Structure formats: structure tokens, C-alpha cells
Amino acid sequence: MAVSDDFAGKAVLVTGAARRVGATIARELHARGANLLLHYRSSAASAAQLADALNQLRPDSVATFQADLLDTRRLPALVDACVQRFGRLDGLVNNASSFFATPLGQIDAADWDDLMGSNLRAPLFLAQAAAPYLAASRGAVVGIIDIHAERPLKHFVVYSLAKAGHAQLIRSLALELAPAVRVNGVAPGSNVWPEGSEHFSADERTAIEASIPLGRVGEPADLARTVAFLLSDAAAYITGQVLAVDGGRSVVL
């Protein structure tokens, strides 16, 4: 990971930042100079460990905040915590996501509330709470979408709907928040097998991986670098876009 100062003095809130892709995004942004508020729901130990490691590299540059994103009432406090800690907010990364199968005939209201809440409702209400601060800093929002927002995944009806909604949210927010705030999305393919991916057999995984045009499974760093780009001034004329970072996987679906 190259160290730079692209984000020196800037503050970014990353949801679901304690582990996996969220943690890699946090490390990438921190290496570029950002101060970070790491959101987590239940991974307190992982969040604290990551914050401690990053603060050793740059003291007082990272803080953590616990919140259940399904509790909409808590979301303004999450945004406020970043502003109170660092005095500003320059970026919001809506990374946190639930993922599990909901085959037709087995869907219930709890499934709907969980998947829609984490993947769509929380990104909307977080962006709404963050909007005044982001406008003041001429900041940006990046949402983690999914290539299955465009091409639904069998047995994942509600998840596919939620991610499709998040993609439309990206475009809608780009209109609502322009010209002060840019809003874009990143759509992973087979970059990291999500928790809950036991739905896919070993043979299915092998077939999916073999179909990727660039010949390899993606890595969290591929997504993290793209998120950093979209938050940065290098993407100053890009808004309302969802960029597939999938090695070409979406081309062959």
C-alpha cells in the first residue's frame, strides 16, 4: 500500500469498518492521510485492534463508534461523532451490508427489514445526516453496491433488490447533493466471498472464478483503491456513477 497525503487533514466515516473489505478501505484511506471514524456493530475487538494499529502509525487519527444501522435514530449520532472528533466530515463510505439468501416462498418481514435496512435505508439516512457537513467541505459519498444490483442473484431476491435500490440511491443523491457533494458507487464482483456464501458450493465457486475475464479473483485492495479514487480530487468531475470492480465478471454474466 503506497503512502501518500491525498487526504491529509480530511475526515472520513466508514461503516462496517472493523473487518474484511471495510478494514482494507480504512487502511487505504489512512495511508493516504485521512482521519477516520470506524463504525462497527458487534466487532468491538476487531475495531479496537484496527484503530490501535492505525493510531500507532499516526496518533489520534482514528476513532471508533458502535451502532446498529437498523436503528435509524442512531445514525445522526454516528455522523456527529465524526464531526465532533475531527471537526469536519469530508467523506462517507457506506460499506456495511447484510448478505444472506432469501429464496422466494421463504421470505419474511425480518429478512426484508435486515437486508433493506443495512443495504438501503441506512445509506440513505446516513447521507442525509452527513449532507450539511459534506457540503461544507465539498466532500463525497461512496457506496458499496454489487454487480447483482443489475443482474439478480438466484435465491437472493431481497439482497438483489436492496443493492439495486442502493444503486438508484447513488444516482438520486448525486442529483440532490450537487454541485457541492459528489456521490458514486463501487460494484464488486467476486472480490471477496461474503460471509454467508456457504450457499455456493465449491464447484460453483470454481466455475465463477474461472469465468472472470482478467483471470483472477479480486482482492479487497482492488475495491479500497477505487473507493479512495472516487473520494479524491482525482475524481472531481465524476458523480452519479456505479463503477464495477469485478475483473470483467459482469460482462460474462
Domain total of the chain: 1
What is the spatial distance between Cα 167 and Cα 28, in angstroms, rounded to a whole number?
Answer: 23
What is the C-alpha to C-alpha distance for residues 140 and 241, in angstroms, rounded to an integer?
12
71: amino acid identity, one letter: D
Closest CA to 124 of 86, 162, 80: 162
Reported pTM:
0.94
CB 239 within 8 A of CB 178: yes
Torsion on CA atoms 206, 212, 214, 215, rounded to nearest 10: 20
The pLDDT score that the predictor gives to residue 240 is 98
pLDDT at 191: 57
* Rg (alpha carbons) of the chain, rounded to whole number: 17
List the domain range (segments joined by +) for residue 194. Answer: 11-244
Is 61 a domain residue?
A: yes
- Calculate the CA dihedral of residues 92, 168, 75, 33 and round it to 10 degrees: -10
Does residue 42 fall inside a structural domain? yes
- Whether 2 is covered by a domain: the verdict is no
> Contact 41/19 with Cβ under 8 angstroms?
no
pLDDT averaged over 10-residue windows placed end to end, the chain, 253 residues? 79 97 98 98 97 98 98 97 98 97 96 98 98 98 96 94 98 98 93 59 77 88 97 98 93 83
Residue 76 lies in a domain: yes
- Ramachandran assignment for 18, one of left (phi > 0), alpha (psi -120 to 50 degrees), beta (any other): alpha
Q: Where are the alpha helices (DSSP H) in 117-198?
A: 122-137, 157-177
Q: Check residue 142 and give left, alpha or beta (phi > 0: left; psi -120 to 50: alpha).
A: beta
Which pLDDT value is given to residue 209? 83
**CATH at 103:** 3.40.50.720
Distances (CA, A) of 209 to 196, 205, 224, 249: 18, 6, 20, 9
pLDDT of residue 3: 62
Is 249 a member of any domain? no
For residue 79, tell me if it sits in a domain.
Answer: yes
Cell numbers describing residue 244: 464495477
Kindly name the residue from 40, 133, 159, 237 that is annotated as catalytic: 159
What is the C-alpha to C-alpha distance for residues 217 and 240, in angstroms, rounded to an integer? 27
Residue 251 lies in a domain: no
- For the question of residue 159 being annotated catalytic, the response is yes
Structural domain includes residue 1? no
* Distance from C-alpha of 101 to C-alpha of 111, rounded to nearest angstrom: 9
Nearest-angstrom CA–CA distance, 176 and 134: 13
